[in-house]
Structures are given as structure tokens and as C-alpha cells.
């Protein structure tokens, strides 16, 4: 993980049109290391569309996005960004350990070891368990263990609290706080009102 205050993520004049309907326009934000950007709004307001634009998965209809003052098409952005969407992004036919080994192989450097990541998400002892036998909440926590191992600075998360109980939500909030304290930054959508008292949380409401 890089030292705090060394990264910036900026959007300016962002607009998105879907099916001839303007979801948002002239949207702007500036995020630096240690901060969280929470996207709020009712279903269909454009939260997931905005996340996909911020990830570089689709083009904005107008506006620019910059990572550390460079366009996000620069390969550096993709090396330092990690996305977890509605799907957990894990292979259900593999074991927990096999999934994490695969994630580690695709990462330049791991921030946590496999054992450390499993401990952080309360999945110690599940190494040889097939993912398809895990509960929905356990699968969600496994997908977040992958984030911890990558060492990516920017986390972009679409409804990360889905399928989690109160303890699971509190766990993920703790991991988010630690990530920001270590110089990371997070963009997320959530219907759950996040509790991050030590973190500077910015909000954009798309309703």
C-alpha cells in the first residue's frame, strides 16, 4: 500500500444517458487517499452506471475522469483499481484456497497473505471448502478477501453489504476504515448507511 495522500481520483462534467433518459449530468468529484465516496440514490438512478464509468468499463457521454492527473485509460489505473460488483467474482467450482491463489497469481504484489486475508474476513479454516457450499454472506466475504490480497489502492464496490448480517456489515466497515487509514480510497454504492467515523466520507445523491 502506498503512503497516504499520494493518489487522487477526479471526475468532471460527467454525464450518462441511457435509453434516451439522462441519468445524471455535470457530475463532479475529487477523491484523495484516505477518503470514501458514497453514491446514493433509488434503484434506477444511475449508481451502477456511474460505477461502471468510473471503472472504465463504459464511456461517459460527457466529461473526464483522471487518476493521479492522468486519464484512466492509462494502464497504471487498472493496476491500482479493484472492482467488486453484484456478482462476487469467485469460481464456485473451486475451493476457497484455490480462488485466493488464483487472485494472488493475478496480482503484482499482495498486501496480505492468504492466511491473513482469511483471518481478516473470518474464514479461517475454510481453505479446502468448495465455494459452492458457502453461504451467500461467506461468498461475499471471500470476494472481499481477494481485495485485501491485491494491495490495490482504489476499491470500487457495488453494494458490498449485500447478503451480510450485522456482524458482517461491521466487519466490512472495519476493513474499509483500515484500508483508508493505510492510504487507500473507496467508491461504493450502498442502501446501508455506512458507519465510518474516522473516515472522510463524501456523498453524491443521484435521486
Q: What CATH number did the domain enclosing 154 receive? A: 3.40.50.300
- Is the residue at 199 inside a domain? no
Domain range enclosing 72: 8-192
Instruction: With a cut of 50, list the residues of the chain below it in pLDDT.
Output: 1-5
Residue 4, pLDDT score: 46
Structural domain count of the chain: 1
Instruction: Spell out a b/e string for 109-122, using b for 16 or more CB atoms within 10 Å of the CB, else e.
Output: ebbbebeebbebbe
Residue 122, pLDDT score: 93
Nearest to 16 by CA among 31, 27, 5: 27
- Is the residue at 172 inside a domain? yes
- Is the residue at 85 inside a domain? yes
- Is the residue at 201 inside a domain? no
The pair phi, psi for residue 112, each rounded to 5°, is -125, 150
- Give the pLDDT confidence of 45-73 residue by residue, as tens digits: 899 999 999 999 999 999 999 999 999 98
* Three cell numbers, residue 53: 464509468
Residue 29, pLDDT score: 97
- Is the residue at 204 inside a domain? no
- Is the residue at 197 inside a domain? no
- Is the residue at 150 inside a domain? yes
* Three cell numbers, residue 78: 487498472
Nearest to 172 by CA among 110, 122, 101, 136: 122
- Is the residue at 111 inside a domain? yes
Residue 176, pLDDT score: 93
What separation in angstroms does the CA of 22 have from each of 44, 45, 106, 190? 11, 10, 37, 22
pTM: 0.88
* Three cell numbers, residue 83: 472492482
What separation in angstroms does the CA of 148 have from each of 18, 74, 139, 145, 179? 34, 23, 15, 5, 9
What separation in angstroms does the CA of 195 have from each of 62, 84, 106, 177, 198? 33, 20, 32, 9, 9
Amino acid at each position: 500500500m502506498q503512503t497516504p495522500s499520494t493518489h487522487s481520483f477526479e471526475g468532471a462534467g460527467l454525464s450518462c444517458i441511457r435509453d434516451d433518459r439522462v441519468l445524471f449530468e455535470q457530475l463532479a468529484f475529487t477523491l484523495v487517499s484516505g477518503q470514501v465516496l458514497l453514491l446514493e440514490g433509488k434503484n434506477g438512478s444511475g449508481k451502477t452506471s456511474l460505477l461502471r464509468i468510473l471503472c472504465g468499463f463504459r464511456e461517459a457521454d460527457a466529461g473526464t475522469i483522471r487518476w493521479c492527473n492522468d486519464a484512466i485509460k492509462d494502464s497504471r489505473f487498472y493496476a491500482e483499481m479493484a472492482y467488486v460488483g453484484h456478482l462476487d467474482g469467485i469460481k464456485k467450482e473451486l475451493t476457497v484456497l484455490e480462488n485466493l491463489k488464483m487472485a494472488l497469481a493475478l496480482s503484482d504484489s499482495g498486501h496480505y497473505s492468504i492466511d491473513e486475508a482469511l483471518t481478516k474476513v473470518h474464514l479461517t479454516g475454510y481453505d479446502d471448502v468448495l465455494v459452492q457450499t458457502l453461504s451467500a454472506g461467506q461468498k461475499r466475504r471471500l470476494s472481499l478477501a481477494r481485495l485485501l490480497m491485491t494491495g490495490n489502492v482504489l476499491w470500487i464496490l457495488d453494494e458490498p453489504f449485500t447478503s451480510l448480517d450485522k456482524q458482517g456489515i461491521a466487519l466490512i466497515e472495519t476493513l474499509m476504515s483500515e484500508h483508508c487509514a493505510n492510504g487507500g480510497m473507496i467508491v461504493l454504492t450502498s442502501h446501508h448507511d455506512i458507519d465510518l467515523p474516522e473516515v472522510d466520507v463524501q456523498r453524491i445523491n443521484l435521486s
